[in-house]
Chain A
Amino acid sequence: MKRINIRSEQDTERFGYELGQKVEPGTVIALIGDLGTGKTTLTKSIARGLGVTETITSPTFNIVKEYRSGRLPLFHFDVYRIGDIDEMFEIGYEEYFFGDGVCVVEWADIIEEIIPEDAMVIRIEYGASEDERTYEIEEG
Chain B
Amino acid sequence: MIDGKFAILAIESSCDETAAAVVLDGRDVRSNVISSQIDIHKAYGGVVPEIASRHHLDNVNWVVEQALSEAAEKSGCPVTMDEIDAIGVTYGPGLVGALLIGLATAKAYALATGKPLVGVHHIQGHICANYIEHEELEPPFMALVISGGHTNIVEVTDYNECHVLGGTRDDAAGEAYDKVARVLGLGYPGGPLIDKIAREGNPEAVEFKRVFLEKDSLDFSFSGIKTGVLNYVNSERQAGREISVPDVAASFQQAVLDVIVAKTVGAALDMKKDKIVMAGGVAANSRLREMLAAECEKHGLKLYHPSPILCTDNAAMIGCAAYYKYKAGGIDDLTLDAIPNLPL
Task: List chain A positions with a Cβ less than 8 A from chain B.
Answer: 35-36, 40-41, 44, 54-58, 60-67, 81-84, 87, 90-92, 130
Contact = CB atoms under 8 A, between A and B. Distances in A.
Nearest to A61: B149
B97 A83 contact: no
Interface centre among A35, A61, A63, A87, by most chain B C-beta atoms within 10 angstroms, is: A61
Contact of A62 (B49, B149, B174, B231): B149
Interface stretch (B78-86, B163-171, B265-273, B291-299): B163-171
B223 interface: yes
B170 A57 contact: yes
Contact of B54 (A35, A55, A87): A87
Size bracket of the B interface:
20 to 34
Contact of B226 (A35, A56, A67): A35
A68 to B, nearest CB: 9
Tell me whether chain A's interface is mostly helix, strand or loop, or mixed.
loop
Given A35-B183, A64-B95, A92-B97, A57 B230 contact: no
Contacts of B54: 87, 90
Given A36-B227, A57-B170, A57-B172, A63 B340 contact: no
A61 B97 contact: no
B191 interface: no
B182 A62 contact: no
Given A61-B172, A62-B149, 17 more contacts: A36-B231, A40-B171, A40-B223, A54-B341, A56-B170, A57-B169, A57-B171, A58-B172, A60-B148, A60-B171, A61-B148, A64-B95, A67-B341, A82-B51, A87-B51, A90-B97, A130-B231
Contacts, number: 73
Contacts of B263: none
A55 B220 CA distance: 12
Interface centre among B15, B167, B174, B223, by most chain A C-beta atoms within 10 angstroms, is: B223
A66 B183 contact: no
Contacts of B167: 55, 57
Interface in B140-194: 148-149, 167-172, 174-175, 178-179, 182-183
A83 B188 CA distance: 14
Contacts of B148: 60-61
Contacts of B49: 83-84
Interface centre among A35, A66, A67, A92, by most chain B C-beta atoms within 10 angstroms, is: A35
A75 to B, nearest CB: 10
A131 B54 CA distance: 37
Contacts of A82: 51
Contacts of B102: none
